[in-house]
Amino acid sequence: TAKKGALLITGGAGFIGSNFVMYMVDKYPDYHIVNLDKLTYAGSTANLQTIENRPNYHFIKGDVADEETVTRIFSDYDINGVIHLAAESHVDRSIADAKQFVETNLLGTTVLLQTAKKDWEEKGVLQKRRFHQVSTDEIYGSLGENGKFSEDTPYAPRNPYSASKAGANFLVSSFGHTYGMNVVISSCSNNYGPRQHREKLIPTIISKALALEPIPIYGDGKNIRDWIYVMDHVQALDMIFHKGKRLETYNVGGNNERTNMEIAKTVCMMLDELQPALLRNAGLDSFQDLITYTADRLGHDRRYAVDDSKIRSKLGWHPQTQFQQGIRQTVEWYLAQWGQSAVTETKTTSVKKGDRNALN
């Protein structure tokens, strides 16, 4: 019997991956989607509950760096494309210990590339089938006050996470140049939205606010990131995978630069509106009163901004979500997930005004 043709998506139980897998399973009922994820601390199948019984969805728990697992997937399915999102993704963890970042982001990408190359070469489809590497604008390093990263900006990663992602991109393009593989790379700015892990900035702000604990902001709070709603990135990935040109990179951005402090204030103002009772019981005027500066991240990149004119003009993509609307959807999602328990846990705690390092 012929093996099932399938698209392999890695890291599909994580933040962007789960949003992407759900979108693809819905949009392409004729595709079989195989989701390979190791389920590290960052991944959870709970993210995928709504699709777990779909006939075109297949979950495999496994490590992208494990050759045996990846080879088995290529022999069990006729993999007709790879979209590679699996990664260790948290900069702070990479600063504490870089080894796992090398194993997953560099070795894992290499194992996937080699296995795909071997299988597709044997089938005579090496130039047809696509390997899409999902990457980050952090590979380009840090910007001053002006300018933006374009696809031609030289890589200048400055922390172990971005170094491992830059290295992975080099491996991907080397497989395109050396063997003629049909590779494409996308480099996206900071995503926000539902299902992001608690350790990242926006979920941290929300969870600390709901717990009435200090909301930590690194350094002077003026580091700038270009924020994009996750579903806008997901649509870009779909377009790049299907329509992007071989060996090219596409930058994806929100055209939406914000300082970390602006992000914290915006989220807090949204919570003020959505959680007035918690605010009142705590005796606070605004959740912003909980914002506290903490020691800066080591080697903290100052500013990232993405020039996304190429994907706009070549593929007709543009982000569709207004920042205020995206933040509202995000905050509402986390409130639905954690809101009730957070309110119950903390309803007896009262914070006196002035107790905190308030900033405004």
Q: Could you give the string, one character per residue 186-205, with x where binding to ligand NAD holds by CB under 6 A and - elsewhere?
A: --x-xx-----x--------
Candidate list 37, 88, 119, 137, residue with the active-site label = 137
Pick the stretch among 84-92, 207-215, 274-282, 343-351 that binds ligand NAD (CB under 6 A).
84-92
Assess 13 for contact with ligand NAD (CB under 6 A): yes
Strand-strand pairing, 5-10 and 78-84: parallel
The count of C-alpha atoms lying within 13 angstroms of the C-alpha of 310, restricted to the half-sphere facing its C-beta, is 19
Assess 234 for contact with ligand NAD (CB under 6 A): no
Catalytic: 137?
A: yes
How many whole angstroms separate alpha carbon 18 and alpha carbon 242? 19
Shortest reach from residue 296's CB to ligand NAD, in Å: 20
Assess 181 for contact with ligand NAD (CB under 6 A): no
Which position's Cβ is nearest ligand NAD?
A: 14
Catalytic: 161?
A: yes
Strand-strand pairing, 182-188 and 130-136: parallel
Q: Could you give the string, one character per residue 94-133, with x where binding to ligand NAD holds by CB under 6 A and - elsewhere?
A: ----------x---x-------------------------
Shortest reach from residue 134's CB to ligand NAD, in Å: 5
Strand runs labelled E in 189-287: 190-192, 215-218, 224-229, 249-252, 257-259
Cβ atoms of 59 and 9 closer than 8 Å: no
* 3-class SS of residue 311: helix
Candidate list 37, 119, 138, 301, residue with the active-site label = 138
E strand or H helix at 136, and its extent? Answer: strand 130-136
Opening angle at CA 327, ends 322 and 332, nearest 5:
130
Backbone angles phi, psi at 153, to 5 degrees: -60, 130
Q: Could you give the string, one character per residue 16-55, with x where binding to ligand NAD holds by CB under 6 A and - elsewhere?
A: xx------------------xxxxx-xx------------
Backbone angles phi, psi at 175, to 5 degrees: -70, -30
Shortest reach from residue 207's CB to ligand NAD, in Å: 16
Catalytic residues: 137-138, 161
Chain residues binding ligand NAD by CB under 6 A are 10-11, 13-17, 36-40, 42-43, 63-65, 85-89, 104, 108, 134-136, 165, 188, 190-191, 197
